[in-house]
Amino acid sequence: MSQTDNVANEWPLWEVFVRSKQGIEHKHCGSLHAADAQQALHMARDVYTRRQEGVSIWVIPSAAITASDPGDKDTLFEPAKDKVYRHPTFFVIPDEVGHM
Amino acid sequence: MYTQSFNVPDAPIAAAGPREIKPVLTPEQQQAMDRAQSQFDRVIDADGKIEPKDWMPEAYRKTLVRQISQHAHSEIVGMLPEGNWISRAPSLKRKAILIAKVQDEAGHGLYLYSAAETLGTSRDQMLDALHTGRAKYSSIFNYPTLTWADVGVIGWLVDGAAIMNQIPLCRCSYGPYARAMVRICKEESFHQRQGFESLMVMMQGNAEQQAMVQDAVNRWWWKCLAMFGPPDADSTNSTQGMRWGIKRISNDDLRQKFIDATVPQAKVLGVTLPDPDLKWNEARGHHDCGQIDWDEFWATVNGNGPCNKERLATRVKAHENGQWVRDAALAYARKQQQRLQQQQEAA
């Protein structure tokens, strides 16, 4: 079997997100290979929640994720750099106002 | 669970692929390359993290692929010596615990394969390297588990040594590897404690049971010390690994930590560690120990240990026997996908 055949027959890759308890967001915890979504869910349960780490799981085909390029980091996030006034601590408020 | 804290080169691919030809770079490309390298160096110097899509030197990538995949293979092959005892466990309780532990090892293998895949190698490529004998795994699994006491000793000593090795890896400069190690280390403590507790129960048993524990300790102790890898003076790879933030503590220092931690545990258990030279050195504040048999260690690494062939053959057989399951699952998924598409088109 050549390398390309191998990859073609490899189960697709899925990204796994687990909600640890009600009220908390789903958090990325890793990835796994599975033939389809249902199998990916079952495997995610066995691989990532063996110790009751979750109450809900999302699985998403890794290929479906669009990611920003780390090389573009500086330009992509540049617009936020000079807007320190978005932080509350930018504004000096007299002490007697108390908590605001 | 079980890294051997040295990075042995895998065997070269028999049919050599296309020779690596260094591309000739234009001055602009060279400049971009230099900038990327100095950015990488800055992150490493600041003890920062490298993530999958960040630029990294090829040698860094290669070292990580080799180390993480060797580590993953170790987890997977590591299931075999203990799996041998699942059907022979002395009680239902011990059987359930052992199944859970072996399942953890499979999970650890998966976390690590996933981490290695982020570096651009495929799962099938890694498995192929293992199954053809090109890739190494921790040598400790090339020794047999002769009695039930071996299962306890593996948990106590082998997993104990692995924990020493793995805790510093949680701070590894490569993000996905570090995150996988955090997850693994959380689960590892169960492995060591269940082993120690099962030995304590045996030590409260009859003379024959106690002798069984001592015999297992005698057979595994030196192998566990060797798990930390060659002495610092002979570890040529370590300097680069340290520079890259992949390796944090030297082989000898980790080994010393393990010995110092284990001596009092052995006392509580009531067993002797099989080393006449093992004694407390007041001046150093550490235990001194005898000479490790490195010839035996290297013979095992290089394929001539008592179980190398058996372990690999079992692994390959399991993989081949599972082929129809993998094919069937994929065929089923594709069929379902097609049906769904046809339904959507018809609607």
Query: How do residues A55-86 score in pLDDT, each as one tens digit?
Result: 999 999 999 999 998 888 889 999 999 999 99
Burial of residue B168 (number of CB atoms within 10 Å: 0-12, 13-18, 19+): middle
Residue of A nearest to B54 (CA): A70
Cβ contacts of A6 on chain B, cutoff 8 Å: 122, 124-125, 128
| Contacts with B, A 27-66, CB within 8 Å | 29-33, 35-36, 39, 46-47, 50-51
In this prediction, residue A8 carries a pLDDT of: 66
Alpha-carbon gap: A87 to the closest alpha carbon of chain B (Å): 26
- Separation CA B181–CA A77 (nearest Å): 30
Interface test with A, best of B114, B130, B188 (most A CBs within 10 A): B114
CB B105 within 8 A of CB B79: yes
The pLDDT value recorded for residue B22 is 67
The percentage of chain B sitting over the pLDDT mark of 70, rounded to a whole number, equals 93
Q: Enter the ipTM.
A: 0.85
Residue at B308: amino acid letter: N
DSSP state of A76: H
Query: Measured between alpha carbons, how far is B196 from B154 in angstroms, rounded to an integer?
Result: 9
Chain A residues lying within 8 Å of B40, measured CB to CB:
none
- Stated as kind and residue range, the H or E segment containing A61 is strand A56-61
B110-144 pLDDT, tens digit each: 999 999 999 999 999 999 999 999 999 999 999 99
> Is B122–A10 a contact, with Cβ atoms under 8 angstroms apart?
yes
Going from the first residue of chain B to its last (347 residues), give the mean pLDDT of each consecutive group of 10, the final group possibly shorter: 52 53 80 92 95 94 95 96 95 98 96 96 95 94 97 97 94 96 93 97 98 98 95 82 92 96 98 97 97 94 93 96 95 94 92
For residue A11, give the nearest of B54, B183, B326 by CB distance. Answer: B326
Helix (H, G, I), strand (E, B) or coil at A44: helix
Q: How far is A38 from chain B (nearest CA, A)?
A: 10
Tell me, letter by letter, the H, E, C secondary structure of chain B. CCCCCCCCCCCCCCCCCCCCCCCCCCHHHHHHHHHHHHHHHHHHHCCCCECCCCCCCHHHHHHHHHHHHHHHHHHHHCHHHHHCCHHHCCCHHHHHHHHHHHHHHHHHHHHHHHHHHCCCCCHHHHHHHHHCCCCCCCHHHHCCCCCHHHHHHHHHHHHHHHHHHHHHHCCCCEHHHHHHHHHHHHHHHHHHHHHHHHHHHHHCCCHHHHHHHHHHHHHHHHHHHHCCCCCHHHCCCHHHHHHCCCCCCCHHHHHHHHHHHHHHHHHHHCCCCCCCCCEEECCCCEEECCCCCHHHHHHHHHHHCCCHHHHHHHHHHHHHHCHHHHHHHHHHHHHHHHHHHHHHHHC
| pLDDT, position B158 | 97
CB contact under 8 A, B114 and A32: yes
Residue A22: Cβ within 10 Å count: 7
What span, in angstroms and rounded, lies between the C-alpha atoms of B326 and B209?
43
Please tell me which residue of chain B has the smallest CA distance to A35: B330
pTM of the model: 0.90
pLDDT digits (tens, 9 = 90+) for B13-66: 554 445 556 677 888 889 989 999 999 999 999 999 999 989 999 999 999 999
- When pLDDT is averaged across residues A6-24 and rounded to a whole number, the result is 89
Nearest CA in chain B to A71: B54
Using CB atoms, which residue from B180, B187, B333 is nearest to A36? B333
**Residue A13 sits at the chain B interface (C-beta within 8 Å):** yes
For residue B237, CA distances in Å to B22, B33, B244 come to: 24, 25, 11
What is the C-alpha to C-alpha distance for residues B123 and A42, in angstroms, rounded to an integer? 20
Predicted pLDDT of residue B12: 57
Q: How close B18 comes to chain A (CA, Å)? A: 14
Query: Are B50 and B118 spatial neighbours (Cβ–Cβ below 8 Å)?
Result: no
Average pLDDT, chain B: 92
